[in-house]
Chain A
Amino acid sequence: MSKKIAGPEIERLVQLLARLPGLGPRSARKAALGLLKKRQELLVPLSDALKIAVEKIVECPTCGNLDTVSPCTICQDPRRDPTLIVVVEEVGDLWALERAGVVNARYHVLGGHLSPLDGIGPENLNIGSLRLRAAASDVGEILLALNATVEGQSTAHYVMDQLVGLDVTVSRLAQGVPIGGELDYLDEGTLAAAIKSRRRV
C-alpha cells in the first residue's frame, strides 16, 4: 500500500491544478510545489486574484465577452466602430483579434459552434441576441470570424440564414495562404481556398 506523502489540502490543490488546460498530474504537482515555495510572492497574490475574479468577472450581457464591468469595456468604448460587429466562437478568439489589433469594432461571442455530436444546437449559442443587435439601426456589417472547420463554417451558414431579411452586409474572413506560409507545405484545402479567393493586383 502506498504511503501518503502530503495532507488532503495539498492533494486537493494538485488535483484542481491538474484539471487546468495544459497541466497533467505531474506538472500540477510541480506547479503546486512552486506556489507553496513562493507563498508570499505567488500563492497569496494568486489566491487574491482568483477570489477577485470569482467575485467580479461577469459575462457581458451584450456581446458575451468576459470582463469586470457590465457591459464590457469593448461594448462601452465610444472609439470603436459601432457599424461593424465581429462574430467569434469563443472569448479566446476575441482576445486573439484584439492582440493583433487589426479591427476596431465591437464583437459578439457565440459561445461555441454547432456540434450535433456534442449536443450543441442553435439554442445553446448566442444567436438570438446577435440578430437583435444586427437589427439595430447603427449596425451596417456583420463579420463572421469563425473557424475554418466544418463545424465553424456550418455555424457561419446557420448564422447567415438567421440574418436574412435584415439590412446588414454579412461578410466572412478570407481563407488562403498564411503569412510566412510556403505553398509546398500547404494542404490542398488551403491551396484550393487560396485559388478560389484570388484577387486582382
Chain B
Amino acid sequence: MEWSDEAIVLSVRSHGETAAVVDLFTRSHGRHSGLVHGGRSRKARPTLQMGNHVDATWKARLAEHLGHMSVELRRGYAASAMDDPAALAGLTSMCALARLLPERDPHPALYEVTLFVLGFLDDPTVWPALMVRWELSLLQELGFGLDLSACAATGVNDQLIYVSPKSGRAVSESAGEPYKDRMLALPRFLTSARDRHATRDDVAAGFALTGFFLEQRVLAPKGEGLPESRARILTHIDR
C-alpha cells in the first residue's frame, strides 16, 4: 500500500528516541497517522510543526497498519504564527478540533477551507471570522451542520438574528422574540450579508455559536471539552 498526498500537520508525538507518530489531515485520504523515522531529528522538527502544509508519502504492507510516512515541507504556517499569540492560539485550536474528524475518511472541502484559513493567519482583521466559518464547516462535516439560510419558523431569509439551540436552524427576529433568552445570537457576517465586516463582537458571537454546538453535539458525548487554546483566541483579539 502506498500513496502520496498533500496534508496539514495536526499533531506530532514522540515515538522512542528518534521517531515520531504524526497525525495529518490529508486532502484525499482524510485524517491519517503514520510513523516518521527520524521525526525527532533536528532536520525534521521544523517540518513537523502543527499547522504546517506538507507533502506526505505513506507506505504500509497492509491498509490497516500504521505505516511509515515521509514528509516534506510545502509551507511553514507554524513559524509565521509563532509571534502572534492570537494566531498561534487559532492555529492550535484548529489543529486540535480537526482531530475530531474520523480517521481515514476524506473531507476535501474542509481541507480546502483549512488551507484557506491558514493562508490568512497573518491578517488579524480576517482570520478570526474565517475561523468561525471553518468551525461551521467542521460541524457540517461531522454531521451536525447548522442551517442558517432561512428562518426555521417562517421560512423567510431576512432579519435572521437567532439560532435555535435545539434545531441548529436560524430564526428570524420576529419569530424568535418570545424565546430570545434561550436563543443563540447569529452574527450578521454568517448570514447572507457576507460583505459586512465582522466586528470583534460578531466574531465573539460566532465563536459562542459554534462553540455551543461543538461542545453539546460533538465533545460532550465523548466526555471532552473545547481546546483551551480556543478560549485564548478571544482574549488576545481583545488586545
Q: Which residues of A contact B (CB under 8 A)?
A: 21-22, 114, 116-118, 121, 148-151, 153-154, 157-158, 160-161, 175, 187-190, 192-193, 196
- Can you give 13 A-B contacts (C-beta < 8 A)? A21-B17, A22-B17, A114-B228, A116-B228, A148-B82, A149-B49, A151-B50, A153-B88, A154-B88, A157-B236, A160-B85, A187-B76, A189-B79
Residue among B73, B75, B79 making CB contact with A193, cutoff 8 Å? B79
One of B89-97, B108-116, B173-181, B210-218 at the interface: B89-97
Interchain nearest-CB distance for B12 vs A (Å): 9
* Closest chain B residue, CB of each to CB of A187: B46
Residue pair A157, B89 in contact (C-beta under 8 Å): yes
| Chain A to chain B: the 4 pairs with minimum beta-carbon distance, closest first | A189-B79, A189-B76, A157-B85, A187-B46
- Known A22-B17, A116-B228, A149-B49; judge A190-B79 contact (CB<8 A): yes
The docked-state distance in angstroms from the alpha carbon of A174 to that of B75 is 21
The docked-state distance in angstroms from the alpha carbon of A186 to that of B78 is 15
The docked-state distance in angstroms from the alpha carbon of A78 to that of B144 is 62
Residue pair B88, A150 in contact (C-beta under 8 Å): yes
Main secondary structure of the interface of A (DSSP, over half): helix
Interface string of B25-61 (1 = CB under 8 A from A): 0000000000000000000011101110000000000
- Known A116-B96, A121-B228; judge A189-B80 contact (CB<8 A): yes
What chain A residues lie within 8 Å of B96 (beta carbons)? Answer: 116
Given A150-B49, A160-B85, A188-B75, list of 6 further CB < 8 A pairs? Answer: A150-B78, A157-B88, A188-B73, A188-B79, A192-B76, A192-B79
What chain A residues lie within 8 Å of B17 (beta carbons)? Answer: 21-22
What chain A residues lie within 8 Å of B13 (beta carbons)? Answer: 117-118
Interchain nearest-CB distance for B233 vs A (Å): 11
The docked-state distance in angstroms from the alpha carbon of A157 to that of B81 is 12
Q: Is B64 located at the chain interface by the 8 A CB criterion?
A: no
What chain B residues lie within 8 Å of A151 (beta carbons)? Answer: 50
Residue among B49, B83, B92, B229 making CB contact with A196, cutoff 8 Å? B83
Residue among B47, B51, B83, B85 making CB contact with A150, cutoff 8 Å? B51
The docked-state distance in angstroms from the alpha carbon of A154 to that of B231 is 13
The docked-state distance in angstroms from the alpha carbon of A116 to that of B88 is 14
Residue pair A161, B227 in contact (C-beta under 8 Å): no
What chain B residues lie within 8 Å of A187 (beta carbons)? Answer: 46-47, 73, 76, 79
